[in-house]
C-alpha cells in the first residue's frame, strides 16, 4: 500500500468518527489492462462521498450509485468483478477489455483500521488478515519481502501495509531534506546517516530516522537488499567512498552519489585503485546521480533523483535527453527535454 492509499484509510477513520457507514474496496485481481495495481483501495461513504481510486472513475461511479440506492448494504466482505465480458468492459470503460476483482468490506470496529494507521505512522510493516466470513481483521508484524503483498483465498484477504522500500541517505544536508521528504510520499522508509555533529544536531525531517554511526558501518548494519537504495550526498570522500564500497558489494537495487562527471570519474578511480572495486560493480554506480533534466536547485535535483529511482524500480532506463533551444518566459534558453 502506498501513501495515496494510506490517506484513504485516514479518511475512512474520520468518516467513522462522524458515524458514517463506509464500504472499503480493495483490488485483489486484474486481467488484461488495468488502470490501478493490485492492492489499490477506494472507500465509499453512505451518502455517496468517495475517496481513493480503483479505475479511471467508471467503477467508482457505479459504486456510488449502488451505495446511494442501498444496493451495497453488505454485512460482511464480498467479492465482486467488473468488466468480465465485452459489454461490461465497454460499460465500465476498462481498457482492452480488462477485468477487475474487488473485495468490498463494510468498515466497523472489527476492521481494526485505527490500530493499523497508528502502526503505519510508526513506520511499521504490517500484515492485515481479513476474515471474509466474519469481517474480522487481525494484524501482525511483517518482515520486508515476506510473502506476497496481497493474497486472497476462499476465507482470507491478506494485505501488507507500510514501507517495503528503503532509502539510505549519507549526509544530513539541505539536499537530504528534499529527497527524504519526497521519498516518504513514494512509500520509502528513509534512513539518514551522518556522524558529523554540525549536521546531525540540526536534523529535523519528519518520518526519517537519523543514524550517527560511520557510513560504511551503517550501510553494513542495514544489510541492503533488492528493495534498498543507497545515495551518498556529503561530497566528502572519507564518508561517501566507504559507504559506496559497502553498498556496491550488496544487492541494493540502486547505488548513487552526487557530484559532477569529473568528480564521479575520480571517485570510480579511487574505488578501483584503493579498494579493489571491480568494473562490474562500478557499472552499478549512478553518478552524477539523477536523470539529466536541467535541474539546478536542490528540490529540482531531488525530483531528478527520485525519478531515476522510480525508473530503476520498474526496470526502465531513461536515455540521455536532447537539448533544445527555447525562449519560454522566465526560463533561460538552452533547456533540456
Cross-strand bridge partners of residue 156:
131
Q: Which one is predicted more confidently, 254 or 142? A: 254
Tell me the mean pLDDT in the region 9-29. 95
**With bands split at pLDDT 50, 70 and 90, how would you rate the model's confidence at 336?**
very low
**With bands split at pLDDT 50, 70 and 90, how would you rate the model's confidence at 57?**
confident
Predicted local confidence at residue 73, as pLDDT: 75
- Give this prediction's pTM: 0.68
Q: 105 is written with which cell numbers?
A: 468490506
**With bands split at pLDDT 50, 70 and 90, how would you rate the model's confidence at 337?**
very low
Tell me the mean pLDDT in the region 70-77. 82
**Strand ranges (DSSP E) for the chain?**
22-31, 41-45, 50-52, 78-82, 99-106, 126-131, 137-141, 150-152, 156-161, 165-170, 188-193, 208-211, 228-232, 254-257, 285-286, 323-324, 335-336
With beta carbons less than 8 A apart as the criterion, state whether 285 and 257 touch.
yes
Residue-by-residue DSSP string for 23-70: EEEEEEEEES--SS-TT-EEEEETTS-EEE-SSSSHHHHHHHHHHHTT
Q: Which one is predicted more confidently, 89 or 271? A: 271
To the nearest whole percent, how much of the chain has pLDDT over 90? 61
To the nearest whole percent, how much of the chain has pLDDT over 70? 87
Tell me the mean pLDDT in the region 292-306. 94
Residue-by-residue DSSP string for 175-223: HHHHHHHHHHHTTEEEEEE---HHHHTT---TTEEEE-S-HHHHHHHH-
Predicted local confidence at residue 53, as pLDDT: 86
Angle among Cα 215, 219, 221 to the nearest 5 degrees reads 115
Q: Which residues in the chain are classed under CATH 3.40.50.720? A: 165-313
Predicted local confidence at residue 1, as pLDDT: 52
Q: Is the confidence at residue 98, as pLDDT, over 80?
A: no
Tell me the mean pLDDT in the region 201-217. 92
Predicted local confidence at residue 62, as pLDDT: 87
Q: Is 308 exposed, middle or buried (0-12, 13-18, 19+ CB in 10 A)?
A: buried
Per residue in 87-96, pLDDT (tens digit) is 666 666 665 5
Tell me the mean pLDDT in the region 180-188. 91
Using alpha carbons, select from 179, 249, 194 the residue that is nearest to residue 220.
249
With beta carbons less than 8 A apart as the criterion, state whether 257 and 232 touch.
yes
With beta carbons less than 8 A apart as the criterion, state whether 144 and 225 touch.
yes
Predicted local confidence at residue 120, as pLDDT: 84
| Sign of the torsion angle spanned by Cα atoms 29, 225, 315, 307 | positive
Q: Is the confidence at residue 34, as pLDDT, over 70?
A: no
Burial annotation 167-180 (CB, 10 A radius, 16+ → b, else e): bbbbbbbebbbbbb
With beta carbons less than 8 A apart as the criterion, state whether 190 and 196 touch.
no
Predicted local confidence at residue 37, as pLDDT: 81
Tell me the mean pLDDT in the region 181-204. 92
Q: Which one is predicted more confidently, 250 or 164? A: 250
Q: Which one is predicted more confidently, 52 or 4? A: 52
CATH topology for 165-313 is Rossmann fold (3.40.50)
Q: Is the confidence at residue 335, as pLDDT, over 60?
A: no
Tell whether omega for the bond before 84 is within 30 degrees of 0, i.e. cis. Answer: no
Using alpha carbons, select from 105, 75, 100, 76 the residue that is nearest to residue 88.
100
* Residue 269, φ and ψ in degrees, nearest 5: -65, -45
Amino acid at each position: 500500500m502506498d501513501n495515496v492509499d494510506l490517506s484513504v484509510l485516514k479518511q475512512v477513520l474520520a468518516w467513522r468518527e462522524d458515524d458514517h457507514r463506509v464500504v472499503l474496496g480493495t483490488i485483489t485481481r486484474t486481467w488484461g489492462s488495468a488502470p490501478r495495481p493490485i492492492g489499490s483501495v477506494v472507500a465509499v461513504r453512505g451518502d455517496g462521498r468517495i475517496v481513493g481510486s480503483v479505475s479511471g472513475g467508471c467503477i467508482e461511479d457505479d459504486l456510488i450509485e449502488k451505495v446511494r440506492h442501498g444496493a451495497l448494504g453488505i454485512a460482511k466482505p464480498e467479492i465482486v468483478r467488473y468488466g468480465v465480458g465485452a459489454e461490461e468492459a465497454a460499460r465500465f470503460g476498462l481498457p482492452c477489455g480488462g477485468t477487475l476483482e474487488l473485495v468490498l468490506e463494510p468498515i466497523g470496529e472489527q476492521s481494526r483500521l485505527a490500530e493499523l494507521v497508528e502502526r503505519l505512522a510508526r513506520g511499521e510493516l504490517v500484515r492485515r488478515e481479513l476474515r471474509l466470513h466474519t469481517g474480522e481483521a487481525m494484524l501482525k508484524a511483517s518482515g520486508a519481502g515476506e510473502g506476497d503483498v496481497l493474497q486472497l483465498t476462499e476465507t482470507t484477504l491478506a494485505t501488507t501495509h507500510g514501507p517495503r522500500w528503503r532509502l539510505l541517505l549519507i549526509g544530513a544536508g539541505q539536499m537530504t531534506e528534499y529527497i527524504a521528504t519526497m521519498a516518504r510520499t513514494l512509500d520509502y522508509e528513509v534512513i539518514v546517516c551522518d556522524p558529523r555533529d554540525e549536521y546531525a544536531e540540526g536534523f529535523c525531517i519528519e518520518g526519517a530516522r537519523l543514524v550517527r554511526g560511520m557510513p560504511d558501518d551503517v550501510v553494513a548494519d542495514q544489510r541492503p537488499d533488492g528493495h534498498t537504495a543507497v545515495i551518498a550526498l556529503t561530497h566528502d570522500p572519507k564518508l561517501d567512498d566507504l559507504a559506496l564500497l559497502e553498498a556496491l558489494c550488496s544487492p541494493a537495487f540502486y547505488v548513487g552519489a552526487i557530484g559532477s562527471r569529473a568528480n564521479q570519474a575520480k571517485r570510480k578511480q579511487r574505488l578501483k585503485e584503493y579498494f579493489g572495486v571491480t568494473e562490474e560493480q562500478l557499472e552499478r554506480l549512478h553518478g552524477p546521480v539523477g536523470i539529466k533534466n536541467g535541474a539546478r536547485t536542490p528540490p529540482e535535483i531531488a525530483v531528478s533523483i527520485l525519478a531515476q529511482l522510480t525508473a530503476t524500480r520498474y526496470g526502465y532506463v531513461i536515455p540521455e535527453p536532447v537539448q533544445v533551444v527555447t525562449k519560454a518566459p522566465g526560463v533561460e534558453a538552452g533547456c533540456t527535454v
